Structure 1
Amino acid sequence: MMKVFQPSTALFIASWAVIGYIQAVTLEVKEGNSTCIKAELSALISITYSTSNSTGTGRVSLPDSTSVNATRSSCGTDGGSPWLVAVFGFGHELGMSFSTNDRVYSVTNLTLQYNLSDSSLFPEANSSDVVTVTSAAVGISAPINTTYRCQSPSTITLGGATVTFSDMRLEAYMPGNQLSPTESLCVADQNSTTTPATPTTTMTTTTKPPAPAPPGTPEQGSYSVKDSNGTVCLLAKMGLQLNVSYVPESQNKTVQELVNLTPNLTLSSGSCGTSSATLTLTQEQTTSLSFSFTMNSTSNKYHLSGINLLANWSNMAVPFSANNTNLDYLRSTVGRSYMCNTEQTLVVAQSFSLNTFKLQVQPFGVTTNQFAAAEECQMDQDQMLIPIIVGAALAGLVLIVLIAYLIGRKRSHAGYQTI
């Protein structure tokens, strides 16, 4: 039986120095004599599993005996997605699927399949299932005809497992059989001051522009949507920060940029329905950010189900687009608003996430143009709980001291007798 899990909480991985040497492997997907996908990389895999008493952690690096599963791997010429599926050990597999928009290619999904009946890796496991976990938040992309390179360790979480890549050079949709000498560096390598262990040919420029300063905390904006009768049906207050990875027109590599929405330059529009509502924010005709909310009449709950971003900034080689309609954020009860003053990160796609600040939103049941009573997010509740716990602890300490003082005073009086 195969169990499929979705990405969840990340696991801690020990430092590379403690784990020891992680060897590199070379993997190729071919069609005839032509190579379409090639990867040179090291990978450390850490898996948490259940035992009869508690839990255990199996750790394994890709061995040099790792090979490509030719049956399950594909160049995508049959109309499907290109796949690289590597097999190793006792029935374990590591797979990557790819996609492209004709300018940039990216790893769409990372999939790990592991066999719990492998007693050498999972001693005392209370199951012998073959488990498959997957993640769409991979963050690996590069321009076409360019090699993606990331020497720095990069950890990806898949359900109860993590995969940490290092010394990675990878290319998909290859025009030839060798990795391109033109390389696109990952963000970690761009920020690293260390010298690569192996010299490589890269595109260089005579001057390197300074990195833009972080934009800081965005200003909170107030937005609303009216129905066909002119009545406000959706309210939102929030500071928004876009975290986008894209290829600038002046560079041949992916960069990551934080951009704040400016409320006084942003217009709001949208629509309200019985079970769905949308809010679209447009800034200076260069950025369009849409939120889709869905209501479940059975549970009387609503949530943020979709986010869509369209951006055409002046330094972009091509307009940027990201969309996800399978989200489950900002969950609350109909007739109440959702509030979260603490910064949140809403992951939309591997190339786009949204940071929210001082957020309050109500897409259903708005009356008198005001927010209803708020249901606070767990992070806000935790922050409120800390001073309560500290105050209770201090009160308890004062009480203990007072009781000790009274007991001591009573004992001192008991030492005197009336004559």
Structure 2
Amino acid sequence: MERCHAFASLIFAWFSLFGCVQAVTLEVTEGNSTCIKAELSASFSIPYDTPSGAKTALVSLPDSATVDAGSSSCGSGGGPSRLVTAFGSGHALGLSFVANGSLYRVANLTLQYNLSDASVFPEANGSGVVAVASSSVGIWAPVNSSYRCVSSSTFAVGDAAVTFWNMRLEAYMPGSDLSPTESVCMADKASTTAPPTTAGTTTAAPPPTPAGKPQQGNYSVTDSNGTVCLLARMGLQLNVSYSSRSQNKTIRALVNVAPNATTPSGSCDATNATLILTGADATTLTLGFTLNATSNKYHLSAITLQADWSDMTAPIRAGNNSLDYMRSSLGRSYMCNAEQTLAVAPTFSLNTFRLQIQPFQVATDRFAAAEECQLDQDHMLIPIVVGAALAGLVLVVLIAYLIGRRRSHAGYQTI
């Protein structure tokens, strides 16, 4: 019986250890009451200067992030309710809430980052803590309901950008659990797979292409000799913030790139390759790749979007020429089946799905052997680790069983 209890405890421990990774959960409490609760994932795109030029640091909110009790508040003294989470070496994210009786909203989004943290900002020209803020984020919900946004949403905070996804939060809570009544963000409403929305939220004018999971397209670029020099197979989704003519305010929309309505073009040379995707709805997406001839490594270094949709009050152009995505080796392709969110600018991020791309040394019009992204490797690692753990448990039980049988026969002698 004791061995059975030990075996059950071991199984519970192993499954607890290798369970699914969840979004960070943060709570602001006062006494025994919870006033703010958030479950979310977040990443940050922060530009900074170095002796060799401008760079962009990409940081994710780690599982170790904690609530800064000294800076967080339930607003009992008449001030705003505030959630501040601290992470890393001197970094912090803050959300301040206000309510008008029937609605509450994020009135202020703040980001604090420490340029002295060399692990995040290598070779930074400056040092010390920098604080930036934004008051226009569009996160709101009726009182006694929770706000939910599974889709990624990017907000400008000073020169930096904060991207949230898998977000559920509530302020001015009557209890300790998030309300089952949800106010769903516009990006989730646009998705064909999103759950039904609840009353109290607004609906944006439909973008040129309906959102949802984008169709995978095949694209190629040829050089001056007519030889294919860049191959790409991927689903693309634009996450764009723009001024809406129909709603008379700034909205954020998810727009899929439709392969059958998109014309690829571009150029290639020894160290640079460009893929230009031109849509029928006055949309042009440009991806620029750079090869480091010394290390024989290439990466996605630039993304630019130009769009002029019928609901826009003015055309938009957003881009970044100092990116570092999709890093791979010369002579190999880069592959990532998992969904990736590439932060580009405060008003624009790019979501990729089932992607494989090779911008240099394309042979026989086919992809070379692929180097997989970290997300795909992590997805494969978890089943392997769990399988190995279970195999180890079976071995432990078998050894315990054999030892138990040997001991049970020790008290008997042959005649």
Q: TM-score band, normalised by the shorter chain? A: 0.5 to 0.7
Q: Which amino acid aligns with 1:21?
A: G
Q: What are the superposed Cα offsets for residues 191-214 of structure 1, whole Å, 9 maximum, x if unpaired?
A: 99789xxxxxxxxxxxx7577597
Equivalent pairs, count: 296
Aligned positions of 1:144-159 closer than 5 A: none
Distance 1:356 1:59, change over 3 A: closer
Higher mean Cα deviation, 41-50 or 372-381?
41-50
Q: Structure 2 length normalisation: TM-score?
A: 0.59
Please list, as runs of the form range in 1=range in 2, the aligned pairs for 1:177-256 lying within 5 A after superposition. 215-256=211-252
* 1:8 pairs with 2:51: no
Q: After superposition, what is the alpha-carbon deviation per residue over 1:348-394, rounded to whole angstroms, capped at 9, x for unaligned? A: 11111110000111101111111111111111100000100110011
1:8: Cα distance to partner?
A: 2.5
Alpha-carbon displacement from aligned partner over 1:281-333 (angstroms, at most 9, x marks no partner): 11115211110000111111111010111112122111121111111111111
Relative to 1, partners in 2 of residues 1:24 and 1:187: Cα closer, same or farther, differing over 3 Å?
farther
Alignment TM-score, normalising by the size of structure 1: 0.59
Report what 2:176 is aligned to. Answer: none
1:398 paired to 2:397: no
The match for 1:20 is: 74
1:90 maps to none
Structure-to-structure mapping, 1:8-157, within 5 angstroms: 8-10=59-61, 11-13=65-67, 19-21=73-75, 131-133=128-130
SS at match of 1:405: helix
Is the alpha carbon distance of 1:254 and 1:49 closer, same or farther for their aligned partners in structure 2, counting shifts above 3 Å?
closer
Contact 2:66 2:86 in 1 (8 A): no
- Cα distance in 2 for partners of 1:231, 1:399 equals 56
- For 1:286, the equivalent position in structure 2 comes to 282
Partner of 1:353: 349
Matching residue's letter, 1:132: V
SS in 1 for 2:213: coil
- 1:382 counterpart SS class: helix
Mapped to 1, the partners of 2:277 and 2:227 lie a distance apart of 19
Residue 43 (structure 1) shift: 7.4
Which of 258, 261, 265 is the matching residue for 1:262?
A: 258
Task: Note closer, same or farther for the CA distance 1:20–1:193 as it changes in structure 2 (3 Å cut).
Answer: farther
Q: Distance in 2 between matches of 1:410 and 1:361?
A: 60
1:412 is the counterpart of 2:412: no
* In structure 2, C-alpha distance between the alignment counterparts of 1:350 and 1:217, rounded to whole Å: 23
> SS at the partner of 2:60?
coil
Structure 1 residue 151, shift from structure 2 partner = 6.9
Percent identity at matched positions? 53
What are the equivalent positions in structure 2 for 1:273-312 lying under 5 Å apart?
273-312=269-308
Consecutive unaligned residues of structure 2, counting only runs of 5 or more, are 1-48, 51-55, 97-107, 117-125, 142-146, 148-153, 163-170, 172-184, 190-196
| Unpaired segments ≥5 residues, structure 1 | 26-40, 51-55, 63-106, 117-128, 142-147, 168-185, 196-207
| Cα distance change on mapping 1:113 and 1:380 into 2, 3 Å | closer
Shift of residue 248, structure 1, vs aligned partner: 1.6
Q: Please state how far the C-alpha of 1:404 moved relative to its aligned partner.
A: 1.5
Preserved contact between residue 332 and residue 358 of structure 2 (Cα < 8 Å):
yes
Q: Is the 8 A contact 2:205 2:247 kept in 1?
A: no
Check 1:226–1:336 CA distance in 2 against 1; reply closer, same or farther (3 A cut): same
Is residue 275–residue 296 contact of structure 1 (8 Å, CA) maintained in 2? yes
C-alpha distance in structure 1 between counterparts of 2:275 and 2:199, whole Å: 43
* Bigger Rg over Cα: 1
